[in-house]
A and B are shown apart, each in its own frame.
Chain A
Amino acid sequence: ETGVTQTPRHLVMGMTNKKSLKCEQHLGHNAMYWYKQSAKKPLELMFVYSLEERVENNSVPSRFSPECPNSSHLFLHLHTLQPEDSALYLCASSPGPGYEQYFGPGTRLTVT
C-alpha cells in the first residue's frame, strides 16, 4: 500500500448504528486530519492530530469521535448519526502542521 488509504470506501448506516472509519498513511507523516465534504460544498476541517495528539477540534458534534493510536493510523467513530451527516469523509496526512496535505480516497457515508 502506498500513500493514504481509507476503509471502507462506501458505508450505509442507520441512525442508531455504530461504525468506524479507518485511515492509514504510509508516508511517514506526523500529522493527520479528518475532513467532511458535503455535496457541492467546500471542505470542512473536523479534527487535526499532530504526533498523535489532537490539536484541533472544529466544533464537531460529539456523535463523531476521533482516535489516533499512532502516527500512521486515524479512526473516526460514528454513533447515532443524522441524515445530514451523509457526506464524503476525507482523511489526509502531512509531514507536519502547515505542510502540504495528501488525501486518501475518502469514505462515502450515507445515513438512512
Chain B
Amino acid sequence: QKEVEQNSGPLSVPEGAIASLNCTYSDRGSQSFFWYRQYSGKSPELIMSIYSNGDKEDGRFTAQLNKASQYVSLLIRDSQPSDSATYLCAVNRDDKIIFGKGTRLHILP
C-alpha cells in the first residue's frame, strides 16, 4: 500500500460546480496534512493545512480530515478555470512530509 494515495485524474468539473479531491494515507499515526496546488511548469503552492478531525474552511476551499478512515479531502466551491492545476496531498509521517502523486483537476468553462 502506498503511503499517500491520490487518483491521478484528470478530474473534469464544470465551472461553478464543486470539485472534490480525495487522498488516503497509510500511517494511522500521521498528525499533519497539507494540500498544495501546482500549475504546470510551476512550483507547488501551499493552500491548506489541517491537523484535527473535521472541516477547515478558507475562502472557496474546505479541507476535511477523517483520521479514523485515514482520508483527507479538499473541496473547491464555485470552481473557476484558474483552479485547473495538479493538487498534491501531503502527510506528516515521523517528521517527514510524504507527498502523493497528485490529482490533475480540469475546470470546464
A: residues with CB less than 8 A from B are 42-43, 56, 88, 90, 94, 96-106, 108
Inter-chain contacts of A103 with B (CB < 8 A): 43-45
Q: How close is A16's CB to chain B, nearest CB, in angstroms?
A: 28
Question: In the complex, how many angstroms separate the beta carbon of A3 from the nearest chain B beta carbon?
Answer: 10
For the complex, give the distance between the alpha carbons of A56 and B94 in Å.
13
Chain B residues engaging chain A, CB cutoff 8 angstroms: 32, 34, 41-46, 49, 88, 90, 92, 94-97, 99-102
Instruction: Please name all residues of chain B whose beta carbon is closer than 8 Å to the beta carbon of A98 when the two chains form the complex.
Output: 32, 92, 94-97
Please judge, given known A-B contacts A42-B101, A100-B49, whether A90 and B43 are in contact too, CB under 8 Å: yes
- A-B contacts besides A98-B95, A99-B92, A105-B43, 17 pairs, CB < 8 Å: A42-B100, A56-B96, A88-B41, A90-B43, A96-B95, A97-B96, A98-B92, A98-B96, A100-B32, A100-B34, A100-B46, A100-B49, A100-B97, A101-B34, A101-B97, A103-B45, A105-B42
For the A-B complex, the count of residue pairs with Cβ-Cβ distances under 8 Å equals 43
The answer to whether B32 touches A101 (Cβ under 8 A) is no
Interface pairs (23), CB distance under 8 Å: A42-B100, A42-B101, A43-B44, A43-B88, A43-B99, A56-B96, A88-B43, A94-B97, A97-B95, A98-B32, A98-B95, A98-B96, A99-B32, A99-B92, A100-B34, A100-B46, A100-B49, A101-B34, A101-B97, A102-B46, A103-B45, A104-B43, A106-B42
Q: Which of A42, A99, A101 is close to B102, meaning CB atoms less than 8 Å apart?
A: A42
What are the residues of chain A within 8 A of B34 when measuring CB–CB? 100-101
Residues of chain B within 8 A (CB-CB) of A90 are 43-44
Looking at A103, A106, A108, the one whose CB has the most chain B CB atoms below 10 A away is A103
**CA–CA, A101 to B38, complex, Å?**
14
- Asked if B46 and A42 make an inter-chain contact with CB atoms under 8 angstroms apart, the answer reads no
Q: Which residues of A contact B96 (CB under 8 A)?
A: 56, 97-98
User: Which B residues lie within 8 Å of A56 (CB)?
Assistant: 96
